[in-house]
Amino acid sequence: MEEKKFGDLDVDLSALQENPQCPHGPTLLFRRRNKDGSVSTKDAYYACSAYRDSKECRFHLAFGAKREAVKMKQQQSGGSKKRKRDEMLEFHRPERWLDDAEVAYCARCSHILAEEEVSGHNHKEVQSVDPRFPTRFLLPLNENQSEAQYFFSKSTLDFFLGLVQSQKVKRIINIGCPRLHEEAISSSVIKAKSFLLDLDSRFAQFFPRKSFAQYNMFNNHFLTELGHADFKSFLGETAPEDVLIVMDPPFGGRVEVLGHNLRQLFVEIGGECRVAWIFPYFMEKHVIRELPSLVMDDYKVEYDNHRKFKQVATGAGRGSPVRIFTNIQPAASIPHPSKEGYWMCADCERYSSRENKHCLACGVCSSKDGKTWRHCQTCAKCVKPDWNHCKKCKRCHAKTCLAKAETTEDGASFKKRSWKFSGGKR
């Protein structure tokens, strides 16, 4: 049974496609893990894979419920405001204005207005927009666990477009990357065909069926059979080595679920293709656990609409904590912008960020968090610059132990004080 431990809750993915369904596809089965490591079915339940907020999807069903209860719950969950919005947008297909350089868009209604609708529309939020670039005017959704939308900055967008060109791929699958998709299909330089898989139904107004399908990355589910058929048609007979998946999931999403669904996509593609999984650096061990072929790249992914994930103009900060996990080899074939401080390390045969210095003792460019790390001779590894070696713990850490005084290997003395690690959201 394919189960991964994550805190005290376990997700059973062994029969995902057979689980009861909500409007967003098969639900996830959550089971409580006991102190002894065993998994209990006592309080197990099914819940929406995409939304934790009951306002978006009310589906919540106890494991082992009778078939009648399952049907009733599925019917009740179908009345969410998200479902109603999807139905409202069905009429507004992009084929109606594919050749228009400018269309009328209502931000409150979240849809394009046909010419006959504009004069009678009473909302003030109507504006003229270029339908080729919806991320320039769409209001980002902000449900952190499912649809947290942060759009790539110009520099990051250029990085990915350069990556696509350098790898000479024929097909790009953009999972949750609408800005990269719109640039790829509008570019005269990019020869690869692009397909967007995204849960946000608003994109159906701007991208034709041949390049977009509404898709839930947390259960590998296409919300319509037609969308799945369009995706298969897009892939055609393309070999796995000619496909690149760029996936930018919400950072609150469960890694084991995302990894499981990527592997399912590999099956549909015909084998493991090239992947660029965008995720915070501190989730490295979890990502690698799911896909051991991936390696964390040093490039810092930045977003226009997130204050913490932007380039630090002063140079005093560490920059964005978001990285790319990829199986693209050789690593040196991934072009990095030298004007942003990235440099080619001849020993590592890959690009490193400005502050990431090569350690001769470790044999790697060791920094991961945007700081310049230093080597600890006692630990025989590189550590963060604000860490010191503790004789009591026999390792380096950031704070002193709860003792009257601790002296580090280099002679620095600390006063007694209590401390605790804040493991909250970054």
Identify the weakest region by mean pLDDT among 15-29, 78-92, 299-313: 78-92
Q: What tens digit of pLDDT does each residue of 48-102 get?
A: 999 877 778 888 888 887 666 666 656 556 544 555 555 544 545 566 666 667 8
Weakest-pLDDT range from 151-155, 277-281, 313-317, 320-324: 313-317
Question: Where do we find the tokens 């998709």?
Answer: 181
Percentage of the residues of the chain whose pLDDT score is greater than 70: 79
Radius of gyration, CA atoms only, the chain: 24
pLDDT at 99: 63
Q: What average pLDDT does the chain have? A: 84
Amino acid symbol at 400: T
Q: Which one has a higher pLDDT value, 68 or 44?
A: 44
Q: What contacts 24+ positions apart, CB below 8 Å, involve 403-412?
A: 409/376, 409/377, 409/378, 412/388
Q: What interhelical angle do 255-269 and 225-235 show, nearest 10?
A: 60
Q: What is the mean pLDDT of residues 333-339?
A: 97
Name which of 426, 424, 397, 402 is nearest 415 in CA terms. Answer: 402
Using the predicted structure, report yes or no on whether residue 38 has a pLDDT greater than 50.
Answer: yes
CATH class label, 154-354: alpha beta
Q: What's the pLDDT at 425?
A: 33
3-state secondary structure of 24: coil
pLDDT at res. 394: 92
Residue 426 has pLDDT above 50, yes or no: no
Q: Which stretches of 86-233 are assigned E, i.e. beta strand?
A: 103-106, 111-113, 126-129, 171-175, 193-198, 212-216, 221-222
CA nearest 306: which of 327, 294, 322? 322
- 244 close to 173: Cβ distance less than 8 angstroms: yes
Q: Rank 52-61, 85-94, 128-137, 164-173 by mean pLDDT and report only the highest.
A: 164-173
Task: For residue 263, report the phi and psi dihedrals to the nearest 5 degrees.
Answer: -65, -35
DSSP string over 31-63: EEEPTTS-EEEEEEEEE-SS---TTT---EEET
Amino acid 2: pLDDT: 46
Q: Is the pLDDT of residue 310 over 90?
A: no
- What value does the mean pLDDT take over residues 374-393? 93
DSSP 8-state class, residue 214: E
Partners of 60 in the beta sheet? Answer: 47
- Angstrom CA distances, 24 to 55, 78, 361, stand at 14, 9, 51
Q: pTM value?
A: 0.85
The pLDDT value given to residue 314: 38
Q: Which of 69-78, 185-194, 315-324, 380-389 has the lowest mean pLDDT?
A: 69-78
C-alpha–C-alpha distance, residues 394 and 113, integer Å: 66
Task: Name which of 26, 24, 23, 22 is nearest 14 in CA terms.
Answer: 26
Return residue ranges of the chain for CATH 3.40.50. Answer: 154-354
